Amino acid sequence: MIGLLALAATAAVQPQKVLAIDPSHRIVEGIASDGSTIWVSSILDRQILACAAACRIIATLPEPLHPFGLAWDWDRKILWVAADCPPGVTAFKPCDHGTLIGLSATGRVRYRFAPTGIAFHPGDVSASQSGVFVSDSQNGLVWGVLSARRSIAPATARARKEPL
């Protein structure tokens, strides 16, 4: 009986298509929403799309940056974009440094953060009341821009190199 109830509950909560991105936008990666707009990142096109009734391009990142992870920051009303050109990917023009970009809901650049003196390759981003956090898959760090300061700094120690 419990198994049937669990199966019925699972069947009732099926994912539904809410949006279709035109295939001309190649490799959609990041997704974020404020409840009325859905933003997506198109990696190869270097574009951020805002989708409501229809999708429109609100930003194109300058070369060589490509948008990866996205996060909507409810407190600051900022769309955070982890922008990078990861090494070893032949489709991307190489660079030493990515950046964390803060956009207005309409695509205007409000913030740019990147550490100095170290390679920085952001991939995913998250926002909370205490700050904005971005992963760096190349060196195992999580970086943070905390509410109390206006610069980016490591939020975690270096990841362990040996297996767990």
Q: Do residues 85 and 95 make contact, with C-beta atoms less than 8 angstroms apart?
A: yes
* Domain-embedded: residue 80: yes
- Domain of 115, CATH number, reads 2.120.10.30
* Domain-embedded: residue 42: yes
pTM, two decimal places? 0.83
* Domain-embedded: residue 132: yes
Distances (CA, A) of 127 to 7, 17, 65, 130, 145: 35, 26, 21, 8, 9
Q: What was the pLDDT predicted at 6?
A: 52
* Domain-embedded: residue 148: yes
* Domain-embedded: residue 21: yes
pLDDT in tens, 34-83: 999 999 999 888 999 999 989 999 999 998 999 999 999 999 999 999 99
Q: How many domains, the chain?
A: 1
Q: Which residue has the tokens 């490799």?
A: 27
> What whole-number distance in Å separates Cα of residue 48 and Cα of residue 63?
14
- Integer-rounded Cα Rg, in Å, for the chain is 18
* Domain-embedded: residue 164: no
Torsion of the alpha carbons at 86, 61, 36 and 127, rounded to the nearest 10: 50
Q: Count CB-CB contacts under 10 A for residue 54.
A: 9
What range does the domain containing 30 cover?
A: 2-154
Nearest Cα residue to 118 out of 94, 93, 143: 143
* Domain-embedded: residue 17: yes
Instruction: Give me the phi and psi of 111, to 5 degrees please.
Output: -145, 150
* Domain-embedded: residue 85: yes
Torsion of the alpha carbons at 61, 62, 64 and 68, rounded to the nearest 10: -10
Pick from 8-12, 60-64, 80-84, 127-131 the range whose average pLDDT is largest: 80-84
What's the average model confidence in pLDDT over 114-130? 91
Distances (CA, A) of 154 to 26, 62, 66, 118: 32, 25, 22, 11
